[in-house]
Structure 1
Protein backbone atom coordinates (compact mmCIF):
# COMPACT_ATOMS: atom_id res chain seq x y z
CA UNK A 1 0.00 0.00 0.00
CA UNK A 2 2.85 2.35 0.87
CA UNK A 3 4.50 1.61 -2.48
CA UNK A 4 1.21 2.31 -4.30
CA UNK A 5 0.95 5.77 -2.71
CA UNK A 6 4.53 6.71 -3.56
CA UNK A 7 4.10 5.22 -7.05
CA UNK A 8 0.90 7.28 -7.50
CA UNK A 9 2.62 10.42 -6.24
CA UNK A 10 5.54 9.72 -8.58
CA UNK A 11 3.20 9.39 -11.56
CA UNK A 12 1.42 12.58 -10.48
CA UNK A 13 4.74 14.49 -10.39
CA UNK A 14 5.77 13.09 -13.78
CA UNK A 15 2.42 14.07 -15.31
CA UNK A 16 2.62 17.51 -13.75
CA UNK A 17 6.17 17.89 -15.08
CA UNK A 18 5.13 16.80 -18.55
CA UNK A 19 2.18 19.16 -18.61
CA UNK A 20 4.41 22.07 -17.63
CA UNK A 21 6.83 21.05 -20.43
CA UNK A 22 3.95 21.00 -22.90
CA UNK A 23 2.84 24.44 -21.69
CA UNK A 24 6.40 25.69 -22.04
CA UNK A 25 6.70 24.27 -25.57
CA UNK A 26 3.36 25.73 -26.67
CA UNK A 27 4.35 29.12 -25.26
CA UNK A 28 7.60 29.12 -27.25
CA UNK A 29 5.93 28.38 -30.59
CA UNK A 30 5.95 31.72 -32.32
CA UNK A 31 4.27 33.04 -35.41
CA UNK A 32 6.38 34.58 -38.13
CA UNK A 33 7.49 38.10 -37.18
CA UNK A 34 7.02 39.34 -40.74
CA UNK A 35 4.28 38.91 -43.35
CA UNK A 36 4.38 35.30 -44.57
CA UNK A 37 4.94 36.12 -48.25
CA UNK A 38 5.95 32.60 -49.21
CA UNK A 39 2.87 31.10 -47.53
CA UNK A 40 0.62 33.76 -49.06
CA UNK A 41 1.85 33.00 -52.58
CA UNK A 42 1.72 29.21 -52.11
CA UNK A 43 -1.85 29.37 -50.77
CA UNK A 44 -3.13 31.69 -53.48
CA UNK A 45 -1.61 29.95 -56.50
CA UNK A 46 -3.66 26.90 -55.56
CA UNK A 47 -6.77 28.98 -56.24
CA UNK A 48 -5.76 29.99 -59.78
CA UNK A 49 -4.74 26.62 -61.19
CA UNK A 50 -5.45 26.32 -64.94
CA UNK A 51 -6.56 29.91 -65.52
CA UNK A 52 -5.91 31.92 -68.66
CA UNK A 53 -3.46 34.79 -68.34
CA UNK A 54 -2.78 37.63 -70.78
CA UNK A 55 0.97 38.05 -70.45
CA UNK A 56 3.19 40.82 -71.78
CA UNK A 57 6.95 40.23 -71.67
CA UNK A 58 9.37 42.98 -72.54
CA UNK A 59 13.16 42.79 -72.85
CA UNK A 60 14.66 46.19 -73.64
CA UNK A 61 12.25 47.54 -76.29
CA UNK A 62 11.09 44.18 -77.64
CA UNK A 63 7.56 43.31 -76.49
CA UNK A 64 5.79 39.97 -76.73
CA UNK A 65 2.11 39.42 -75.90
CA UNK A 66 0.62 35.95 -75.40
CA UNK A 67 -2.30 34.25 -73.70
CA UNK A 68 -1.33 31.22 -71.66
CA UNK A 69 -3.02 28.82 -69.25
CA UNK A 70 -1.05 28.53 -66.02
CA UNK A 71 -0.83 25.38 -63.95
CA UNK A 72 0.29 25.50 -60.32
CA UNK A 73 3.82 24.64 -61.46
CA UNK A 74 3.75 27.59 -63.92
CA UNK A 75 2.58 29.94 -61.16
CA UNK A 76 5.35 28.68 -58.87
CA UNK A 77 7.91 29.49 -61.54
CA UNK A 78 6.37 32.87 -62.41
CA UNK A 79 6.13 33.93 -58.74
CA UNK A 80 9.44 32.45 -57.57
CA UNK A 81 10.77 35.98 -56.98
CA UNK A 82 8.06 36.52 -54.34
CA UNK A 83 8.93 33.29 -52.56
CA UNK A 84 12.62 34.25 -52.65
CA UNK A 85 11.69 37.58 -51.05
CA UNK A 86 10.31 35.90 -47.93
CA UNK A 87 12.11 37.54 -44.99
CA UNK A 88 11.01 35.12 -42.26
CA UNK A 89 14.47 33.75 -41.59
CA UNK A 90 16.25 33.74 -38.24
CA UNK A 91 19.20 35.64 -39.73
CA UNK A 92 16.88 38.50 -40.75
CA UNK A 93 15.04 39.04 -37.47
CA UNK A 94 16.80 42.32 -36.62
CA UNK A 95 17.14 43.59 -40.20
CA UNK A 96 13.73 45.18 -40.79
CA UNK A 97 11.56 47.93 -39.40
CA UNK A 98 7.82 47.26 -39.54
CA UNK A 99 5.20 49.97 -39.80
CA UNK A 100 1.50 49.19 -39.70
CA UNK A 101 -1.74 51.04 -40.31
CA UNK A 102 -5.34 50.14 -41.13
CA UNK A 103 -4.42 50.25 -44.82
CA UNK A 104 -1.42 47.92 -44.61
CA UNK A 105 1.99 47.11 -43.34
CA UNK A 106 5.54 47.62 -44.55
CA UNK A 107 8.69 45.70 -43.66
CA UNK A 108 11.60 47.91 -44.66
CA UNK A 109 15.29 46.99 -44.44
CA UNK A 110 17.13 49.06 -41.87
CA UNK A 111 19.67 51.54 -43.30
CA UNK A 112 22.69 49.53 -42.11
CA UNK A 113 21.20 46.19 -43.17
CA UNK A 114 22.90 44.23 -45.94
CA UNK A 115 19.73 42.35 -46.85
CA UNK A 116 18.85 42.15 -50.53
CA UNK A 117 15.10 42.43 -49.89
CA UNK A 118 14.66 46.17 -49.36
CA UNK A 119 10.95 46.14 -48.60
CA UNK A 120 7.78 44.09 -48.51
CA UNK A 121 4.61 46.22 -48.62
CA UNK A 122 1.17 44.75 -48.03
CA UNK A 123 -2.02 46.75 -48.52
CA UNK A 124 -5.40 45.76 -47.14
CA UNK A 125 -8.97 46.44 -48.21
CA UNK A 126 -11.66 45.59 -45.65
CA UNK A 127 -9.14 43.50 -43.71
CA UNK A 128 -8.12 41.36 -46.71
CA UNK A 129 -4.86 41.62 -48.64
CA UNK A 130 -5.39 43.71 -51.79
CA UNK A 131 -1.78 43.93 -52.99
CA UNK A 132 1.76 42.92 -52.14
CA UNK A 133 4.83 44.66 -53.53
CA UNK A 134 8.53 43.96 -53.05
CA UNK A 135 11.88 45.47 -53.91
CA UNK A 136 15.07 43.43 -54.15
CA UNK A 137 18.51 44.91 -54.82
CA UNK A 138 21.84 43.22 -55.27
CA UNK A 139 25.00 45.19 -55.88
CA UNK A 140 28.62 44.18 -56.06
CA UNK A 141 31.77 45.12 -57.96
CA UNK A 142 30.71 43.42 -61.21
CA UNK A 143 26.96 43.98 -61.45
CA UNK A 144 23.90 45.56 -59.90
CA UNK A 145 20.32 44.44 -60.17
CA UNK A 146 17.03 45.84 -58.93
CA UNK A 147 13.70 44.02 -59.05
CA UNK A 148 10.33 45.60 -58.33
CA UNK A 149 7.38 43.23 -58.26
CA UNK A 150 3.72 43.44 -57.25
CA UNK A 151 0.69 41.17 -57.02
CA UNK A 152 -2.83 42.61 -56.99
CA UNK A 153 -5.91 40.81 -55.66
CA UNK A 154 -9.43 41.18 -57.08
CA UNK A 155 -11.61 42.57 -54.26
CA UNK A 156 -14.70 40.62 -55.37
CA UNK A 157 -13.16 37.19 -56.01
CA UNK A 158 -10.22 37.46 -53.56
CA UNK A 159 -8.05 35.83 -56.27
CA UNK A 160 -4.94 37.10 -58.06
CA UNK A 161 -6.04 39.69 -60.61
CA UNK A 162 -2.82 40.97 -62.15
CA UNK A 163 0.88 41.23 -61.44
CA UNK A 164 4.10 42.86 -62.61
CA UNK A 165 7.77 41.97 -62.26
CA UNK A 166 10.41 44.42 -63.48
CA UNK A 167 14.16 43.88 -63.30
CA UNK A 168 16.94 46.24 -64.25
CA UNK A 169 20.41 44.76 -64.44
CA UNK A 170 23.73 46.43 -65.10
CA UNK A 171 26.79 44.30 -65.69
CA UNK A 172 30.19 45.92 -65.64
CA UNK A 173 31.19 47.13 -69.15
CA UNK A 174 27.80 46.23 -70.67
CA UNK A 175 24.68 48.27 -71.32
CA UNK A 176 21.84 48.19 -68.83
CA UNK A 177 19.33 45.39 -69.36
CA UNK A 178 15.62 45.96 -68.62
CA UNK A 179 13.09 43.13 -68.37
CA UNK A 180 9.42 43.42 -67.51
CA UNK A 181 6.60 40.91 -67.19
CA UNK A 182 2.96 41.88 -66.71
CA UNK A 183 0.13 39.42 -66.40
CA UNK A 184 -3.63 39.76 -66.08
CA UNK A 185 -5.96 36.89 -65.34
CA UNK A 186 -8.47 36.73 -68.20
CA UNK A 187 -10.63 33.74 -67.34
CA UNK A 188 -11.25 32.04 -64.02
CA UNK A 189 -12.71 28.53 -63.76
Structure 2
Protein backbone atom coordinates (compact mmCIF):
# COMPACT_ATOMS: atom_id res chain seq x y z
CA UNK A 1 0.00 0.00 0.00
CA UNK A 2 2.88 2.35 0.78
CA UNK A 3 4.35 1.92 -2.73
CA UNK A 4 0.94 2.68 -4.22
CA UNK A 5 0.68 5.94 -2.18
CA UNK A 6 4.19 6.95 -3.14
CA UNK A 7 3.45 6.32 -6.82
CA UNK A 8 0.18 8.26 -6.57
CA UNK A 9 1.87 11.26 -4.90
CA UNK A 10 4.70 11.19 -7.47
CA UNK A 11 2.20 11.10 -10.32
CA UNK A 12 0.29 14.04 -8.86
CA UNK A 13 3.49 16.07 -8.48
CA UNK A 14 4.46 15.35 -12.09
CA UNK A 15 0.97 16.35 -13.25
CA UNK A 16 1.18 19.62 -11.31
CA UNK A 17 4.62 20.38 -12.73
CA UNK A 18 3.32 19.76 -16.26
CA UNK A 19 0.51 22.28 -15.70
CA UNK A 20 2.84 25.11 -14.74
CA UNK A 21 2.97 28.03 -17.12
CA UNK A 22 6.31 28.32 -18.90
CA UNK A 23 8.37 31.30 -17.84
CA UNK A 24 8.80 33.68 -20.78
CA UNK A 25 12.33 34.49 -21.78
CA UNK A 26 13.43 37.88 -20.65
CA UNK A 27 14.77 40.38 -23.12
CA UNK A 28 18.09 40.57 -21.30
CA UNK A 29 21.42 39.65 -22.83
CA UNK A 30 22.47 37.08 -20.23
CA UNK A 31 23.41 34.67 -23.00
CA UNK A 32 24.72 37.43 -25.27
CA UNK A 33 21.53 37.65 -27.34
CA UNK A 34 18.72 40.14 -26.92
CA UNK A 35 15.19 38.75 -27.26
CA UNK A 36 13.72 41.24 -29.72
CA UNK A 37 10.46 39.33 -29.99
CA UNK A 38 9.73 39.83 -26.29
CA UNK A 39 10.66 43.52 -26.51
CA UNK A 40 8.56 44.17 -29.64
CA UNK A 41 5.54 42.31 -28.28
CA UNK A 42 5.74 44.35 -25.08
CA UNK A 43 5.91 47.59 -27.08
CA UNK A 44 3.03 46.52 -29.35
CA UNK A 45 0.87 45.86 -26.32
CA UNK A 46 1.85 49.14 -24.65
CA UNK A 47 1.25 51.21 -27.80
CA UNK A 48 -2.05 49.49 -28.58
CA UNK A 49 -3.23 50.42 -25.08
CA UNK A 50 -1.85 53.99 -25.00
CA UNK A 51 -2.55 54.88 -28.66
CA UNK A 52 -0.02 57.76 -28.73
CA UNK A 53 -0.06 60.44 -31.41
CA UNK A 54 2.22 59.48 -34.30
CA UNK A 55 3.52 61.53 -37.20
CA UNK A 56 3.91 59.00 -40.01
CA UNK A 57 5.32 59.59 -43.47
CA UNK A 58 5.23 57.12 -46.38
CA UNK A 59 6.94 57.58 -49.72
CA UNK A 60 7.04 55.25 -52.71
CA UNK A 61 9.35 55.59 -55.72
CA UNK A 62 9.55 59.22 -56.89
CA UNK A 63 6.19 60.22 -55.47
CA UNK A 64 5.98 62.96 -52.83
CA UNK A 65 5.80 61.73 -49.26
CA UNK A 66 2.36 61.39 -47.69
CA UNK A 67 2.38 62.46 -44.06
CA UNK A 68 -0.38 61.99 -41.52
CA UNK A 69 -0.75 62.52 -37.81
CA UNK A 70 -2.83 59.84 -36.14
CA UNK A 71 -3.37 58.01 -32.89
CA UNK A 72 -4.87 54.96 -34.61
CA UNK A 73 -2.21 52.61 -35.95
CA UNK A 74 -2.25 48.84 -36.10
CA UNK A 75 0.84 48.31 -33.95
CA UNK A 76 0.80 44.59 -34.63
CA UNK A 77 1.44 45.33 -38.29
CA UNK A 78 3.64 48.41 -37.81
CA UNK A 79 6.34 46.71 -35.75
CA UNK A 80 6.40 43.21 -37.27
CA UNK A 81 9.60 43.91 -39.21
CA UNK A 82 11.46 44.34 -35.90
CA UNK A 83 10.26 40.95 -34.66
CA UNK A 84 11.55 39.45 -37.90
CA UNK A 85 15.01 40.77 -36.96
CA UNK A 86 15.15 38.60 -33.82
CA UNK A 87 18.09 36.21 -34.03
CA UNK A 88 18.05 35.10 -30.38
CA UNK A 89 16.71 31.65 -31.22
CA UNK A 90 19.43 29.04 -30.60
CA UNK A 91 18.95 27.55 -34.09
CA UNK A 92 19.89 30.88 -35.74
CA UNK A 93 22.95 31.76 -33.68
CA UNK A 94 25.40 29.65 -35.67
CA UNK A 95 24.65 31.76 -38.77
CA UNK A 96 26.15 34.97 -37.36
CA UNK A 97 29.42 36.44 -36.24
CA UNK A 98 29.04 38.53 -33.09
CA UNK A 99 31.00 41.58 -32.00
CA UNK A 100 30.46 43.46 -28.74
CA UNK A 101 31.77 46.86 -27.71
CA UNK A 102 31.49 48.42 -24.25
CA UNK A 103 30.48 52.08 -24.15
CA UNK A 104 31.89 54.64 -21.67
CA UNK A 105 28.48 55.08 -20.00
CA UNK A 106 28.21 51.35 -19.20
CA UNK A 107 26.02 50.50 -22.17
CA UNK A 108 27.12 48.38 -25.08
CA UNK A 109 26.90 47.90 -28.81
CA UNK A 110 26.36 44.43 -30.21
CA UNK A 111 26.72 43.72 -33.93
CA UNK A 112 25.70 40.53 -35.70
CA UNK A 113 26.71 39.86 -39.30
CA UNK A 114 25.36 36.91 -41.26
CA UNK A 115 28.03 34.43 -42.34
CA UNK A 116 28.47 34.19 -46.10
CA UNK A 117 27.13 30.66 -46.53
CA UNK A 118 24.25 31.03 -44.05
CA UNK A 119 20.64 30.99 -45.21
CA UNK A 120 18.95 33.38 -42.81
CA UNK A 121 16.81 36.44 -43.55
CA UNK A 122 18.64 38.85 -41.23
CA UNK A 123 21.82 40.05 -42.92
CA UNK A 124 22.91 42.52 -40.25
CA UNK A 125 21.74 43.47 -36.77
CA UNK A 126 23.05 46.35 -34.66
CA UNK A 127 21.88 46.88 -31.10
CA UNK A 128 22.82 49.74 -28.81
CA UNK A 129 21.84 49.00 -25.22
CA UNK A 130 21.78 51.35 -22.24
CA UNK A 131 23.63 50.48 -19.01
CA UNK A 132 20.27 49.07 -17.80
CA UNK A 133 20.18 46.77 -20.88
CA UNK A 134 17.33 48.71 -22.51
CA UNK A 135 17.31 49.17 -26.27
CA UNK A 136 18.40 52.63 -27.39
CA UNK A 137 18.85 51.87 -31.08
CA UNK A 138 18.28 48.94 -33.36
CA UNK A 139 19.32 48.67 -36.99
CA UNK A 140 18.59 45.59 -39.08
CA UNK A 141 18.94 44.66 -42.72
CA UNK A 142 16.63 41.88 -43.86
CA UNK A 143 16.67 40.05 -47.19
CA UNK A 144 13.93 37.76 -48.46
CA UNK A 145 14.15 36.23 -51.90
CA UNK A 146 12.98 33.25 -53.86
CA UNK A 147 12.29 32.51 -57.51
CA UNK A 148 9.28 34.83 -57.63
CA UNK A 149 9.97 37.57 -55.09
CA UNK A 150 12.78 39.80 -53.81
CA UNK A 151 12.58 42.08 -50.78
CA UNK A 152 15.33 43.97 -48.97
CA UNK A 153 14.57 46.21 -45.98
CA UNK A 154 16.61 48.32 -43.62
CA UNK A 155 14.72 48.88 -40.37
CA UNK A 156 15.79 51.35 -37.68
CA UNK A 157 14.21 51.79 -34.26
CA UNK A 158 15.15 54.42 -31.68
CA UNK A 159 14.00 54.16 -28.08
CA UNK A 160 14.29 56.21 -24.92
CA UNK A 161 17.59 55.31 -23.22
CA UNK A 162 16.08 55.30 -19.72
CA UNK A 163 12.80 53.51 -20.36
CA UNK A 164 13.42 51.56 -23.55
CA UNK A 165 10.11 52.86 -24.92
CA UNK A 166 9.88 53.29 -28.68
CA UNK A 167 10.31 56.90 -29.87
CA UNK A 168 10.71 56.53 -33.65
CA UNK A 169 11.23 53.97 -36.37
CA UNK A 170 11.84 53.82 -40.10
CA UNK A 171 11.88 51.21 -42.82
CA UNK A 172 13.58 51.72 -46.19
CA UNK A 173 13.01 48.95 -48.64
CA UNK A 174 12.70 47.61 -52.12
CA UNK A 175 10.53 44.77 -53.33
CA UNK A 176 10.16 43.17 -56.72
CA UNK A 177 8.06 40.42 -58.20
CA UNK A 178 9.80 38.49 -60.96
CA UNK A 179 7.41 39.79 -63.61
CA UNK A 180 7.09 43.34 -62.28
CA UNK A 181 9.01 46.50 -61.60
CA UNK A 182 10.85 47.22 -58.39
CA UNK A 183 9.05 49.28 -55.77
CA UNK A 184 11.20 51.41 -53.47
CA UNK A 185 9.56 52.76 -50.33
CA UNK A 186 10.33 54.62 -47.13
CA UNK A 187 8.29 54.70 -43.94
CA UNK A 188 9.17 57.08 -41.11
CA UNK A 189 7.25 57.39 -37.85
CA UNK A 190 7.83 59.59 -34.80
CA UNK A 191 5.88 59.24 -31.58
Q: Shorter-chain TM-score: what band?
A: 0.7 to 0.9
Instruction: For 1:36-47, list aligned pairs within 5 A.
Output: 36-47=35-46
Give 1:89 deviation, angstroms: 3.2
Instruction: For 1:46-125, list aligned pairs within 5 A.
Output: 46-48=45-47, 49-62=50-63, 63-70=65-72, 74-102=74-102, 103-125=108-130
TM score, norm. by length of structure 2: 0.72
Give 1:155 deviation, angstroms: 3.1
Give 1:32 deviation, angstroms: 6.1
Give 1:144 deviation, angstroms: 2.1
Contact 2:40 2:79 in 1 (8 A): yes
Q: Distance in 1 between matches of 2:131 and 2:31?
A: 22
What residue is the counterpart of 1:34 in the other structure? 33
Alignment match of 2:190 (pick from 176, 184, 189): 184
What residue is the counterpart of 1:130 in the other structure? 136
Secondary structure of 1:51's aligned partner = coil
Contact 2:130 2:162 in 1 (8 A): no
TM score, norm. by length of structure 1: 0.72
Q: Distance in 2 between matches of 1:44 and 1:140?
A: 31
Q: Distance in 1 between matches of 2:161 and 2:32?
A: 26
Give 1:156 deviation, angstroms: 5.4
Contact 2:169 2:190 in 1 (8 A): yes
Q: Quote the RMSD (CA, aligned, Å).
A: 3.3
Q: Distance in 2 between matches of 1:83 and 1:52?
A: 22
Structure scoring higher RCO (CA < 8 A, sep ≥ 6) equals: 1
Contact 2:127 2:138 in 1 (8 A): yes
Residues 165 and 46 of structure 1, relative CA distance in 2, 3 Å threshold: same
Q: Tell me the number of residue pairs that the alignment of Structure 1 and Structure 2 aligns.
A: 167
Moved over 6 A (4+): none
Residues 113 and 121 of structure 1, relative CA distance in 2, 3 Å threshold: same
Give 1:33 deviation, angstroms: 5.8
Residues 113 and 162 of structure 1, relative CA distance in 2, 3 Å threshold: same
Secondary structure of 1:118's aligned partner = strand
Structure 1 alignment gaps of length 5 or more: 19-29
Indicate the structure (1 or 2) with the bigger Cα radius of gyration: 1
| Deviation by residue 1:67-89 (Cα, 9 ceiling, x = unmatched) | 11146xx2121001111222233
Q: Name the one with the larger helix percent.
A: 1
